[in-house]
Structure 1
Amino acid sequence: MRTTGSVPVSLAEIARIAGVGRAAVSNWRRRHDSFPIRIGGTDVSPQFSLAEVERWLRNNGKLDSIAGRELLWPRFEALGSRNDSGLAIAEAAHRMRAPRARISQAELTAEARRLTDEAAKLGRSEGARATFEFLLQRWLETHVRQLSTTPPPLAALMARIALGVRVGGHDEELTALDPACGTGHLAAAAVQECGDRSLTLLACERDPALAALASARLAFVGDGHDVRTEIAAADALREDPFTGARADIVLCNPPFNERDWGYEELATDQRWAHGLPPRTEPELAWVQHVLAHLKPGGAGVVVLPPAVASRKAGRRIRGSLLRTGALRAVVALPPGSAQPHSVRLQLWVLRAASDDPGAVPPGQDALLVDATRFARAGTREPGPHWESLQSFVLSALQALDRPDADLPDGAARVPLLDLLDDEVDVTPGRYTPAGTEPSGLELAAAWRDLETVLTGLARRARRLSELGFATGGPQTTVGVGDLVKAGAVSLRAGQQPLDGAAAPGSAFVPLLTVADLVSDGTPSGSVAAGSAPVIAERGDVVVAGVVRAFRAWVHEGPPTALGPQLYALRVDPAKLDARFLAGCLSAPSNGRQAGTHASSSSRVDIRRLQVLQLPLGEQSAYARAFRDLGAFEALLAHAGGTGKGLVSDVADLLAAGGLDG
């Protein structure tokens, strides 16, 4: 059994506990002989005893107000597997609400039970819901590569769609179902969007740890709402715990591309009203599962990969869904809307036939909505422009049962005769114009955005133009190689990740390569942390050592593995300012002098790159100037992209005629 004293923490975790930057912790370690000694890890990524670190921080007055929760997390992480820590967090949440409750004592170790007691006590003093959400978020971040969650904005959009599309008016009592609930994002959105109405919430999750966390989350979300919740830990396809239950709305983000979904044992299942899903089409099994649980007139919204709309194996089922009016609309989402973030996922909007004689009968068309244009172009921010996306999609779906209503650009009402061909392809992009004209509001917003950027650009330009430069002789410089010898920086060269499958429970980190820098600068892959020889941490200076992509910057994102020809420099904050170092290294003249330039793929000798030799106190002024210059460059690129887009849009509008005055 692992005790508190043997729980290891990294420098980054110590920084979070103390509420400071990682560089400050490195500085403490160098300046204070009393700082705890390393108990594990490597020279580059050392690990320390949590108990010793806590004692040292308290003795030196360096504990931040958030330390209570931060001190808890490493101990939860040290419990072992993902399931052990997840079940312990769920148990702690229930005990925060009911001190004497113990829902899973038999499944927890003695250390886990002690930890849940401490977490429950802390939650009751510092806020139960905030403490639980903190622990849950850290758990999700740690296991992000093993889990698929539904972002809250997407979950809210799905709940609003389902409530708007269903036939049944404004009933005071509703039933909602999520058959693959994960940690409860969609179920929580259903509670929030149903407002004051009485809600029976049914949810199912085959992973016991996720089901326990969903139960804990929904207990908090349900406070202040009239909600009755029932969560089952089971495989909804193989062992449906809610057989015969019918819901007003069903929300589902099912697992993708699973071949072992129960094809053989479920061949004669009554849910396959539109045909037995092929072994390679598990997503269509989930679609029919959703339909089987809808009340007459009820609506379901399912997140699906785009291939489901066009794969040959599923065309017969897609045709049946269209002919019966079960598939009412398909919405193509922009990349980044949910995991996997590189894929343009789709929302399939389903509705069961209504038994109300006055209800709108199934039409002879389907509504296809292409919302992919709401991606954040040219930015690393995750997710689309949610507010604009939600407004557009909800506006388009308002016309679902109104054949004469006008549709916004990007939405099309497609006759079934056009869809029921040899392919039965319901991909929205095939039926909506590739380049839709911007609306007046969108065009006005783009002009305002450009005006704001140009104002910021002018302000930065004035500041940079006021910089004065001495006309004397050149300043003394020192090479990176000499800085390494002097101990001012440590240099690590990125490498190809080690081959082999990741161990169960391994944490994954993004992988950045030179090819990524040449495209958009965003890591395109991920690797198990243990297989990555070099990982850049926040505050490291990263240098691309190849002529075609030469640049240097201070890494500010999550821990990231570096591929070949990328280098990580970690500075001694008592000798060097990281932004000063990155600014000096990124100068084009540096790349020209240190590179061979035999071809665009030539390497840059990192150790030959030159850095101004200045006292630490004088480096900050240069660091600020380099930061302003970088911001100026980013604004310039933004202005160029926005301006080009406006030129293109306005030119198309002019060529189409209709100039007013």
Structure 2
Amino acid sequence: EFGTPSRAEGELAWLQHAYAHTAHGGHLLVVMPASVAYRKAGRRIRADLVRRGVIRKIVALPGGVAASHALPVHLWLLRRPDDTGARPDTVTMVDLTSNDPDGPLDPEDGQTAEVPLIDLLDDDVDLTPALHMPVVRRDMAAEYEEARTELTAALAALESLLPDLCAGDGTDLWEGATVTIADLVRAGLVDLGEGGVRATGDQIDPDYLDGFLGAGPNIRRSTSQSGTYRPDPKSARIPQREPAVQRRYGSAFRALEAAEAQASRLTDTVRRMAQVAREGLGSGALQPGEGQRPDSSS
């Protein structure tokens, strides 16, 4: 009815076969590969479908939704005109490609546009929804300033998390009295389960325990010559110290762990700020200020 498709456009042959069995005023929903919307060989058939007002809606789904393959697919909603011959003036385009394929595909989470038929009937007749979405103008300057503010706050937070450390007295903690984890397990002071080593009483500070398990000879003993790290909790040792001393060390180890986590977030913030800056500079939305520091290498 809309023309004989080429051998490369088998999907448009199937679509017309299904459409032939649709009653007047009836609807047809077909899953199509995304390429059908723009391939040059199907341009004439797509144009006729649009011109007659048969295509009512095209929904672009994210990759991975179709069980048979990971490529993105489209849903084409067609309607055979009723006896009145009334024809719509637009095609509804919905772009859900940025949605999580494993989550609910709510049109509210995507972009929707009512595209006039005349705008689709150009030389390409490209029916890809993303091509017809309204352009969202970003305030790159505001985004960059927001990222800089977040970066400044993240740097201040990182500095505040660093523990206050000073030079030691030269005593090697590992040359003094130490105790193995196996001995602590037998004494009922720690528990060795699937989750690792865990302190069970007040005599062992948990942060002190975790900190020394990942430091000093315990790391060297568990690292092979090839660099592979395989911890052996039972043979690991920790220095014997009074609970008050353990808490001081534990506090420092805990602060270091928090600082490392903050540094990871800081890296993400810097990366996002740089991405906004590059995109803004490349598009003309941002430009270097008058106070830009010269390149020290020149």
Contact 2:161/2:256 (<8 A) preserved: no
Aligned-partner Cα distance in 1 for 2:22–2:208: 62
Matched ranges for 1:474-493 at <5 A = 476=173, 482-484=180-182, 486-487=184-185, 488-490=190-192
Matched letter for residue 55 of structure 2: A
Aligned residue for 2:60, secondary structure, equals strand
The answer on 1:631 being equivalent to 2:261 is yes
Give, in angstroms, the shift of residue 460 of structure 1: 1.9
Aligned-partner Cα distance in 2 for 1:570–1:339: 44
Give, in angstroms, the shift of residue 299 of structure 1: 9.1
Contact 2:163/2:252 (<8 A) preserved: no
Contact 1:331/1:346 (<8 A) preserved: yes
Aligned-partner Cα distance in 1 for 2:274–2:287: 22
Matched ranges for 1:131-280 at <5 A = 274-275=16-17
The answer on 1:309 being equivalent to 2:34 is yes
Contact 2:60/2:96 (<8 A) preserved: yes
Matched ranges for 1:400-415 at <5 A = 400-401=115-116
Contact 2:89/2:117 (<8 A) preserved: no
Larger RCO, structures 1/2 (Cα 8 Å, 6+ apart): 2
Give, in angstroms, the shift of residue 467 of structure 1: 2.1
Aligned residue among 58, 66, 87 for 1:329? 58
Aligned-partner Cα distance in 1 for 2:286–2:142: 22
Contact 2:58/2:129 (<8 A) preserved: no
Matched letter for residue 224 of structure 2: T
Distance verdict in 2 for CA 1:297–1:627, change over 3 Å: farther
Distance verdict in 2 for CA 1:621–1:417, change over 3 Å: same
Aligned-partner Cα distance in 2 for 1:414–1:473: 82
Aligned-partner Cα distance in 1 for 2:280–2:274: 10
Aligned residue among 600, 603, 606 for 2:228? 603
Residues 339-359 of structure 1 show CA distances to partners (whole Å, capped at 9, x for unaligned) of 98x957555252424546554
Contact 1:590/1:609 (<8 A) preserved: yes
Contact 1:483/1:489 (<8 A) preserved: no
Aligned-partner Cα distance in 2 for 1:319–1:609: 74
Distance verdict in 2 for CA 1:657–1:626, change over 3 Å: closer
Identity of aligned residues (%): 15
The answer on 1:649 being equivalent to 2:276 is no
- Tell me what 1:352 maps to: 79
Aligned-partner Cα distance in 1 for 2:265–2:123: 47
Contact 1:454/1:639 (<8 A) preserved: yes
Distance verdict in 2 for CA 1:604–1:580, change over 3 Å: same
Unaligned runs of at least 5 residues, structure 1: 1-271, 277-287, 376-381, 405-412, 420-425, 493-539, 541-568
Distance verdict in 2 for CA 1:581–1:657, change over 3 Å: closer
- Tell me what 2:137 maps to: 439
- Tell me what 2:150 maps to: 453
Distance verdict in 2 for CA 1:310–1:359, change over 3 Å: closer
Contact 1:368/1:427 (<8 A) preserved: no
Aligned residue for 2:116, secondary structure, equals coil
Matched letter for residue 333 of structure 1: P
Aligned-partner Cα distance in 1 for 2:95–2:86: 27
Aligned residue for 1:398, secondary structure, equals strand
Aligned-partner Cα distance in 2 for 1:485–1:361: 81
Aligned-partner Cα distance in 1 for 2:238–2:74: 52
Aligned-partner Cα distance in 2 for 1:353–1:345: 26
Matched letter for residue 34 of structure 2: A
- Tell me what 1:18 maps to: none
Distance verdict in 2 for CA 1:612–1:657, change over 3 Å: same
Residues 157-190 of structure 1 show CA distances to partners (whole Å, capped at 9, x for unaligned) of xxxxxxxxxxxxxxxxxxxxxxxxxxxxxxxxxx
Give, in angstroms, the shift of residue 604 of structure 1: 1.5
Distance verdict in 2 for CA 1:353–1:610, change over 3 Å: farther
Aligned residue for 1:468, secondary structure, equals coil
Aligned-partner Cα distance in 2 for 1:649–1:596: 45
Aligned residue for 2:77, secondary structure, equals strand
Distance verdict in 2 for CA 1:587–1:348, change over 3 Å: farther
- Tell me what 1:499 maps to: none
Distance verdict in 2 for CA 1:473–1:390, change over 3 Å: farther
- Tell me what 2:114 maps to: 399
Contact 1:460/1:632 (<8 A) preserved: yes
- Tell me what 1:468 maps to: 165
Give, in angstroms, the shift of residue 625 of structure 1: 0.8
Aligned-partner Cα distance in 2 for 1:428–1:570: 54
| Structure number with larger C-alpha Rg | 2
Residues 434-458 of structure 1 show CA distances to partners (whole Å, capped at 9, x for unaligned) of xxx97324x3664365245314413
Q: RMSD of the alignment, in Å?
A: 5.6
Matched letter for residue 263 of structure 2: E
